[in-house]
A and B are shown apart, each in its own frame.
Chain A
Amino acid sequence: MEELRQPIILGCVAAYMGLCIWVGIWAMRRTKSAGDFFVAGRGLGPVVVSLAVFSSTLSGFGFVGGPGLVYATGMSSIWMAVCSALGYATGFYLVAKRIRMVAEVRDTMSLPDVVFARYGSETARLLTAGTILLGVLGYLATQILAMALVLQSILSATEMFADISLLASVVISSAVLIFYCVTGGILASVYTDLVQGIVMIVAGALVVITAASVFDGGFAEATNIMLANDGEDIMPFGTLGTMASLSWYFLFGLGLAGQPHVATKMMMNRSLSDNRVILPMTVLGYVVAAMLWVSIGVIMRALVIGDIALPLGAADEAAPAFLSTYAHPLLAGIVFAGLFAAIMSTADGFLNIGAAAIIHDIPKAIRGRSLNNELFWARTATIVLSVVAAGIALYSDKLVGLLGAFGWGTFAAALVPVVLIGLNWKGATARGAVVAIASSLAINFAIQLWQIQIPYKMSGGFLAMLTSMILFIVVSMMEKQKPLPDDIDRVMDL
């Protein structure tokens, strides 16, 4: 079986990509308007929505970067995962119902549409769309780069593709992503998310079982090795300490509902009552898949610190090294497919909201109406956005780092006050929203551009989010409350 490891892994990845292409063709026949392309006509069932929400949240970072961070710094980064129950609670208590109602009464297609409906401000819509576009470019570039690097590592292990270049890997992996996103829009995106979510849950569960059997004494033996060598790493705050961990908890726990690719999917369910089923399925799916993050990281760190395995060349090799050494070839194949699934499920969501920002939101904010023949332009914008992001990924390391780090923190800092608080507090004003978004962009950009080192490694996104939330409330309170449009006022009473 061991000699078939590479063909099995390749077979699993190829089968997964084939499935994505098939879903793209299937969804193309059902995509007849821009509404179908961007919000799937608000007709999705609870299983599809819940798996789409969780798989979009857990990107390739959770499957590669997460285990790498645990390997390098112990348990610090796990605060980004244990906050998921809070993150989804805020999403469903504060956003899911209202955003879906606004979507129906105003026939909105995107988050900036919802922001405009709530605040009646084209500036707020433009800033929201601009924020989304900036964040999407960065996130997408990092996802494409991650996808290409994984594909290159798989293919280069075979005789036929031993010398495959990064450019060729970018072209192959992006081609599959672009194909199903362009043909099937959000419908293809969410149905591939369904497949991707299932693959990620299976991968997460199987990896935990495998990881627990690496040491005879299971995780307890790994823990004892770490306690004997350092100890801080396996304690709750890891090597980075309390404030770094807790700032991540704040940013990821309260910031999840501000992620546009997550919030947008809350507009797509067929019935509002489905939220009751979507929330628990989302939380459970995320937890099982995220177990891979903890278990691989802990086991690889214990193996290396305990002198049982050789040190890794780079922290991000933790997951691939674990899979190639300790996992059954079939499991390795499933997890590698799961890895692609994690990356693609986030990337397709970004492509969709990015295309909406370009052809729908920004034109609407500037000239009062979106482009004619939106469906055609949506497909064109999806291709252009992918090519630009792939170009950034290939030719500008600095820009990838800058925009990638910009992603989550920017979305959370800019959109949490505006969406999460604004949809639940009638006193929130357009000026408050504009100040919150602008301040969060300024702080995040300043931290990234000038490479400002924050003491105790507290997250820059956390500082930006804290500032924008305070400014949003204070500026809104200083203004006289204006009457809301009747439909929005009634929605906010429900």
Chain B
Amino acid sequence: MKFLKSVQPIHLVLVLLLVIAGITAFVLMSEPPVDATGVPHESIAGLSVGGDGAAKLATIGKAPFYFQIAVILLAGTLLYMGVAPHKRDNTLRLFFAAGTAFALFVWVMLFTGYEHYILTGETRVVFGFPMPTNWMLWGIWGSFAAFDLFYVIFFRRYFFTPDEEAEFDALVEELKSEQGDA
């Protein structure tokens, strides 16, 4: 318990960066399939096609899935660092937990939808795009747009409180008078 209390967000950031580095090293060391990054279109110059999606993941398996989970957790932790420690109350923690969980849910839906497609070749087209692509276009963007919205709504509670404004104005005045004295 004492150990857990001594853990700061920066420690979590470092651990997550090391996890991302570990997954990246694993991917870099694995043997890429021939068409890992697409193949040239057979008749149209300058255009590439994806080829066999399942074969692309053959040597790295679920590494991209875990990579992005670590990136989402890292993003959430970094944003959490942006709120001064003395203002981090339970409401804030609840929002960050829910917001990060939502971002993870979106990612799981996107990746499992993509896996389903590469295994079966089937997907639903919704709002003009395949379902996994919709999760990317709207879900990935929207999951962090929720953090933007939180900033707007709770600006005066967590990001720039009236007390802070007064404190900052006092600091500026103090520095001005010091300069004046000098």
A, B from the same assembly: yes
Give chain B nearest CB distance to A493 CB in angstroms: 7
A276 touches B47 (CB 8 A): no
- Would A94 and B81 be within 8 Å (CB), given that A224-B125, A242-B64, A246-B64 are in contact? yes
Closest to B64 in A: A242
B151 touches A235 (CB 8 A): no
A455 touches B28 (CB 8 A): yes
Residues of the B chain whose Cβ atoms lie less than 8 Å from the Cβ of A458: 24, 27-28
Q: Which residues 474-494 in A have Cβ within 8 Å of B in the complex? A: 474, 477, 487, 490-491, 493-494
B159 on the A face (CB < 8 A) = yes
Summarize B's interface: helix, strand, loop or mixed.
Answer: helix
Please report the total number of A residues contacting B with Cβ < 8 Å.
Answer: 91
- Would A235 and B132 be within 8 Å (CB), given that A227-B123, A458-B27, A470-B21 are in contact? yes
B151 touches A276 (CB 8 A): yes
A456 on the B face (CB < 8 A) = yes
Q: Which residues 135-172 in A have Cβ within 8 Å of B in the complex? A: none
CA distance A93 to B133 in the complex (A): 28
B145 on the A face (CB < 8 A) = yes
List the one stretch of A14-22, A75-83, A403-411 in contact with chain B.
Answer: A75-83
B165 touches A457 (CB 8 A): no
What is the number of contacts between chain A and chain B, taking CB atoms within 8 Å? 248
A312 on the B face (CB < 8 A) = yes
Residues of the B chain whose Cβ atoms lie less than 8 Å from the Cβ of A212: 128
Residues of the B chain whose Cβ atoms lie less than 8 Å from the Cβ of A313: 46
Residues of the B chain whose Cβ atoms lie less than 8 Å from the Cβ of A236: 110, 114, 132-133, 135-136
A218 on the B face (CB < 8 A) = yes
Give chain A nearest CB distance to B39 CB in angstroms: 8
B68 touches A104 (CB 8 A): no
- Would A72 and B171 be within 8 Å (CB), given that A455-B32, A466-B17, A493-B84 are in contact? no
Instruction: Tell me which of B30, B81, B175 contacts A487 (CB under 8 A).
Output: B175
A residues adjacent to B (C-beta < 8 A): 71-75, 78-79, 82-86, 88-90, 92-94, 97, 101, 104-105, 212, 218-220, 222-224, 227, 229-244, 246, 249-250, 253-254, 272-273, 275-276, 279-280, 283, 287, 294, 301, 304-305, 311-315, 420-421, 424-425, 427, 454-458, 463, 466-467, 469-470, 473-474, 477, 487, 490-491, 493-494
Question: Please, could you name 13 A-B residue pairs with CB atoms under 8 Å apart, sorted by A?
Answer: A82-B136, A89-B147, A89-B151, A92-B148, A93-B82, A212-B128, A222-B128, A223-B130, A234-B129, A273-B155, A458-B28, A466-B20, A473-B14
